[in-house]
Structure 1
Amino acid sequence: MKTYTIKNSFLKLFCSDYGAAITSLVTKDNKGNDTNVVLGFKTLEDYQNHGYCLGASIGRYAGRIGDGYFKVNETKYPIYTDDNGVHLHGGKNGFHKRFWEVENHTDTSITFKIESENGDEGYPGNLVARVTYALDVNKLVTTYTATSDADTVINLTNHNYYNLNGEGDILEHELFINSDAFLEVTDTQIATGKLIDVTDTPFDFRAPIIIKDKKGFKGVDDCFALKDVEAARLFSPKTGIEMRVTTNQPGMVVFTPENLGECNFLNDAEYGSYSSICFETQNFPNAPHHENFPSPLLKAGEEYKNVSAFEFTLR
């Protein structure tokens, strides 16, 4: 595993060629102290042996696809599923489990590239995917692009786990999610095609609220339908760091794991229950099975693009 650094006067980012993963993102808190706001591991073995995709790039399809297949142009393509019949994050050997090639590296940006052959994990088309991490003043901009020589489906995203304190948990963080509805799922978390109004549910974060104060909160692992390019805001009263998430994607999976298990975190950081929160900007999971969802189709010769930004300020 090789690691790389990009930085400017506001942010410093460390990343790896394994999974094109972000391993650390450092910004200043309200006292001028460096604070690492994403969770990362110490070694390659930690990343390979842990199942939560820390900081990684997910593909070919982020999230879950049900039924063990999808169709493209009425052709059925069988895909790998686990014991619950779920195809998750691109399959048994998704992009987060592979080494990516560094294509370009400057002081403030880095581009990783991966090639996926026709039939890889069941997907049609020879696909070339890239991710660029770029620092634009106080923003981290993530840009995923892909092209294929045959029609296929695609859904790429980043899987950073954020904690604006750099330790402990995120229960004292203030959260805003710009969404009126989330996706209904089955017991195995497969999206049914139905959207549920967030009103009077534990998933209504349209008014900023301290996470632990949200009535009925027992963790979140759901895809939200976004209302606008502004997807979310997260704020830590302890450090004064606020992060604003914007994206060109229609959805965002928000995930607050209760317990990540035994982990060797970077810099020996210590985290508690509800250690962090993911903002996975993307298309809807299981979209290949639901015509009412935004289309995941990437036509041959066309370009897929997911552009998301994470802006850090103090208040």
Structure 2
Amino acid sequence: MTDELKKIGTFEGRDVLEATLESETGVSIAVIGYGAVIRDWRVPVEGGMRSVLLGFDRFEDYPDHSPYFGAIAGRVANRIGGSCFTLNGKEYRLPANEGPNHLHGGPKGIGRQVWDMEPLGKEAVRLSLSSPDGQMGYPGTLDIAVTYRLSGNCLRVEFSAETDAPTPVNIVQHNYFNLMGEGNVGSHTLQAPASAYTVPGEGLIPTGEIRPVTGTHLDFRKPRRLSDEAGEPIAYDNNLVLDTGRDLSAPAAVATAPDGSLTLTLKTDQPGLQVYTGDKMNVAVPGLGGRRYPRFGGLCLEDQNFPDAINNPHFPSPVVTPERPYRHWCEIEIG
């Protein structure tokens, strides 16, 4: 096993390992144990290879400077309002790490821990992590596994988690894509089969209202540029409600490079899609290949349950139990 993994650093006394997946079409994806991060994703284009997501060459830059680049976020990704919830009559308090709210599982969420790694041949790797009862305030021990499988230009991500007590779970890939490899993503186009969105309130915590996208800048049912009429990128950080009854074999999102050189399609079994264009990015160190990542430098398409679902009973339930474990898959194809 260790022959196929490369040590790239240490974190809190543990080795951080890296696996490189390679497919017959020439795609190369680097995965590291810290945060189950996809560190680099290269696809062949005319003239060579292109990195299509944001990351760092040095592991040491991840703990200090990464805004969840390529990470698996959780236990509960996105936001929990007021950093608390009630489950089976008991209130649970979580650490606040975005104003009064709890973001991406807290300051020591699963995206900021070292996972175990098991290579599954040249095109797949399995990562696992056990989150003990009480970690970041959550009830129950949660045993998590994420498997990355590369086939051609398509990466399938399979998530699973088993618990010994009822607990909320929303485990999400947090890749920042840029299909041009540099610059801002305002000139990318996006299409998604979502007729509604969850209305954000203060701190981007949902008010509980679900509203139609018709007539708003969140209507991506037809391809839409991620910029305004003046060409300035729009600060998206919104949860789209994917259409119920949709064909899961059809894309939940299609993003296209401005020159048409690359297209990203994402398929998922999840009910929501967080669209984030990186307006809060402020990366102080160079990224892959020495690039400087500007504000709006990456597009996140986070397939997920709705934000703050644990505090909104009419949202899809995020609660998993010993009898009802967590399962989630997505497929991302770039070519």
Category of TM-score, reference length = shorter chain? over 0.9
Q: CA, structure 1 residues 214+96, in 2 after alignment: closer, same or farther (shift >3 Å)? A: farther
Q: Is 1:267 equivalent to 2:289 in the alignment? A: yes
Deviating 4+ runs (over 4 angstroms): 213-217
Residue 221 (structure 2) aligns with: 206
Residue 8 (structure 1) aligns with: 23
Alignment root-mean-square deviation, CA: 1.8
Residue 290 (structure 1) aligns with: 312
Q: Deviations over 1:3-42 (max 9, x none)?
A: 210111222100111101001111122x252111111112
- Displacement of 1:205 in angstroms is 1.6
Residue 142 (structure 2) aligns with: 127
Q: Is 1:281 equivalent to 2:296 in the alignment? A: no
* Partner Cα separation in structure 1 for residue 183 and residue 299 of structure 2: 12
- Indicate which of 76, 79, 83 corresponds to 1:64: 79
- Displacement of 1:156 in angstroms is 0.1
The question of whether the paired residues in 1 share the 8 Å contact of 2:186 and 2:234 is answered with: no
Residue 116 (structure 2) aligns with: 101
* Partner Cα separation in structure 2 for residue 146 and residue 98 of structure 1: 16
- Displacement of 1:83 in angstroms is 6.5
The question of whether the paired residues in 2 share the 8 Å contact of 1:202 and 1:217 is answered with: no
Residue 143 (structure 1) aligns with: 158
2:110 partner amino acid:
F
1:206 partner amino acid:
R
Residue 87 (structure 1) aligns with: 102
The alignment of Structure 1 onto Structure 2 pairs a total of residues equal to 312
Q: CA, structure 1 residues 103+71, in 2 after alignment: closer, same or farther (shift >3 Å)? A: farther
Q: Deviations over 1:138-187 (max 9, x none)?
A: 21111111000111110001110000111112122121122111111222
Residue 304 (structure 1) aligns with: 326
Q: TM-score, normalised by structure 1?
A: 0.94
* Partner Cα separation in structure 2 for residue 53 and residue 15 of structure 1: 14
The question of whether the paired residues in 1 share the 8 Å contact of 2:285 and 2:292 is answered with: no
Gaps of 5+ in 1: none
* Partner Cα separation in structure 2 for residue 8 and residue 83 of structure 1: 39
Q: TM-score, normalised by structure 2?
A: 0.88
Gaps of 5+ in 2: 1-15
Q: Is 1:192 equivalent to 2:207 in the alignment? A: yes
Residue 255 (structure 2) aligns with: 234
Residue 222 (structure 1) aligns with: 238
* Partner Cα separation in structure 2 for residue 188 and residue 237 of structure 1: 31
* Partner Cα separation in structure 2 for residue 56 and residue 306 of structure 1: 16
The question of whether the paired residues in 1 share the 8 Å contact of 2:83 and 2:102 is answered with: yes
* Partner Cα separation in structure 1 for residue 131 and residue 29 of structure 2: 26
* Partner Cα separation in structure 2 for residue 306 and residue 79 of structure 1: 24
1:294 partner amino acid:
P
